[in-house]
């Protein structure tokens, strides 16, 4: 499931003007003057469109394909964000992270698995630059780079690509999702598994 929050953005423009028909030099000292302040509040708005849908299906894999820290497949979640003002969107992801000490690998638990985990999971890395968005991450270092700061932890926020006049206040945002191994293959139980995450788009 995916959802988005669009927080109201207010622009306040203030201008001062001096009211009166006389020049400043001829205004008597001590006489009253009038200053008018004019403020305009615009209701900034944004649209978020999950163009890749709300589900990703990964290829079936053999247990022997996995090992601790190995990424076997990466897929993108595409989100088109369009605003009518300059802003840097943020994203927050929440879900179940059942591996102790690791809040960056998501997996729905199953009571039929030992310790409610199955030795695999999903890691999400938001693209924070155009290069990172347009070039898929490498399988070989996806997990290591994720732990080093590229992956988003459960309940935390990360910046996305900024929207400004240079890109027409519109940008295709990408969240790279990697299927990763957490244990040796002999500890993985064959069968289906999934991670249900909530994606919250935050527009400051």
- pLDDT for 1: 35
Predicted structure pTM score:
0.79
Distance between CA 113 and CA 99 in Å, rounded? 13
Q: Which domains does the chain have, with CATH numbers?
A: 9-43 (no CATH), 46-203 (2.60.40.1090)
CA distances from 199 to 50, 161, 183, 196 (A): 10, 16, 27, 10
| Cα 57 to chain centroid, rounded | 20
Task: Give kind and range of the element (H or E) at residue 130.
Answer: helix 130-134
**Residues 56-99 pLDDT 10s:** 889 999 999 999 999 999 999 999 999 999 999 999 999 999 99
Contacts of 87 (CB under 8 A, 6+ apart): 9, 44, 46, 162, 163, 203, 204
Residue given tokens 């995450």 in the structure block: 197
């Amino acid at each position: 499931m995916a959802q988005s929050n669009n927080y109201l953005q207010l622009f306040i423009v203030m201008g001062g003007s001096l009211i009166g028909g006389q020049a400043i030099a001829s205004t008597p000292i001590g006489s009253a003057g009038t200053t008018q302040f004019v403020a305009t509040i615009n209701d900034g708005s944004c649209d978020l469109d999950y163009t890749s849908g709300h589900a990703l299906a990964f290829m079936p894999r053999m247990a022997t394909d996995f090992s601790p820290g190995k990424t076997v497949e990466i897929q993108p979640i595409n989100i088109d964000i369009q605003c009518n003002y300059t802003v840097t969107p943020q994203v927050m992801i929440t879900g179940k992270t059942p591996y102790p000490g690791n809040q960056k690998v998501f997996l729905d638990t199953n009571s039929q698995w030992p310790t409610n985990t199955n030795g695999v999971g999903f890691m999400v890395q938001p693209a924070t630059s155009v290069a990172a968005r347009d070039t898929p991450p490498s399988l070989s270092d996806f997990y290591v780079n994720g732990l080093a700061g590229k992956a988003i932890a459960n309940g935390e926020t990360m910046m996305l690509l900024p929207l400004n006049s240079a890109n027409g206040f519109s940008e295709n945002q990408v969240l790279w999702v990697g299927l990763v191994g957490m244990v040796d293959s002999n500890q993985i139980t064959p069968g289906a598994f999934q991670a249900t995450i909530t994606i919250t788009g935050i527009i400051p």
